[in-house]
Structure 1
Amino acid sequence: MLDDTDRRLLRQLQNDPVATVQALAARAGVSARLAARRFDRMRGEGILRGQRARIDWRAMGYSVEVSLRFTLEKTAPDAFDSFIAAAREVPEVVEIQTFLGRVDVRLGVIARTLPHYHEIYRSRIVTLPHIADIESLMHVATLKTAERLPL
């Protein structure tokens, strides 16, 4: 699995994901060549799955976030698949999660304003297939988001 060198390199990568391999290696106390080999190995093992840009949707004018919890009608064999396929087509749906239990699916939805959210809800959300029940939770604040692993 991971040794101390791997963990040091990953901690540095979490601290500065756009740093060069040379800079990450120096901060972790290893050679750039060793760091490059370790990062290649971790990519090959699926530990590192690439890097991506993180865009703050609030800075782009989206000020409303709603969590919608759905219970689906399960009479159709393809209820989950068709619901999820349709939900993926809604641009304002930024997250889809499935569950075992009373709630089947949760959608994270963003909107610019409350009227914009109501428009999305009426025209795109309630028209999704196989809905038995919807519970809406208006997001108020994020108190903690763990984006870093405790390495």
Structure 2
Amino acid sequence: MKDLDRIDRKILRSLQLDGRLTNTELADRIALSPTATAERVKRLTREGYIEGYGARLSPAKLGRTLLVFVEVKLDRTTPDVFDAFAKAVKTSDDVMECHMVAGGFDYLVKARVAGMDAYRTFLSDVILSLPGVRETHTYAVMEEVKTTGHLPV
């Protein structure tokens, strides 16, 4: 992959803020011809800088008002347990993110559910039934101070 120049960075910043920009609107914003802009966007996508496009949905409108983070400790830290856990967690629609971490526990799970009753069901039916789970600690979010998927470019 080549280094990003000033125009590539402007394209990435613009699309990150508004992925629905037309090629013409994007070209106007970055002061480049539509053809050259389209070629750069294709290259940035091909090289993996742009992974995709999507809409940000309202959790409140969709009845997913409770955001929780769950620390998960496994009973054994072997490749087969890690693989089984990772495979199983990917099947839950409630899990938004799951990260293997270094430190006092093995995984950090981010989930959105309808409320505390839904979380209790999620904990018992999903998290505690996952392969190798020994212990969990849950943190319910009281206020989202900053939520972004934007990366500095």
Same topology, TM > 0.5: yes
Decide which of 54, 58, 72 is 1:56's aligned counterpart.
58
For the residues of structure 1 that align with 2:125 and 2:43, how far apart are their CA atoms?
47
Q: Secondary structure at the match of 1:33?
A: helix
CA offset digits 1:50-77 (Å, max 9, x no partner): 2122222222011111111011111654
TM-score by length of 2: 0.89
Runs of 4+ with >3 A deviation: none
Q: 1:149 to 1:87 in 2, by over 3 A?
A: closer
For the residues of structure 2 that align with 1:75 and 1:46, how far apart are their CA atoms?
32
Q: Structure 1, unaligned stretches of length 5 or more? A: none
Q: Which residue of structure 1 aligns with residue 114 of structure 2? A: 112
Q: Secondary structure at the match of 1:78?
A: helix
Q: Secondary structure at the match of 1:59?
A: coil
Alignment-mate amino acid for residue 35 of structure 1: T
CA RMSD of aligned residues (A): 1.7
Alignment-mate amino acid for residue 29 of structure 1: A
Q: Structure 2, unaligned stretches of length 5 or more? A: none
1:44 Cα shift? 1.6
Q: Which residue of structure 2 aligns with residue 7 of structure 1? A: 9
Q: 1:71 to 1:13 in 2, by over 3 A?
A: same
Q: Does 1:121 align with 2:129?
A: no
CA offset digits 1:31-64 (Å, max 9, x no partner): 1011011111111211112212222222201111
Q: Secondary structure at the match of 2:4?
A: coil
| Number of residue pairs aligned between Structure 1 and Structure 2 | 151
Q: 1:146 to 1:89 in 2, by over 3 A?
A: closer
Q: Which residue of structure 1 aligns with residue 67 of structure 2? A: 65
Identity among equivalent pairs (%): 29
The 5 A counterparts of 1:1-151 are 1-74=3-76, 77-151=79-153
TM-score by length of 1: 0.90
For the residues of structure 1 that align with 2:12 and 2:25, how far apart are their CA atoms?
13
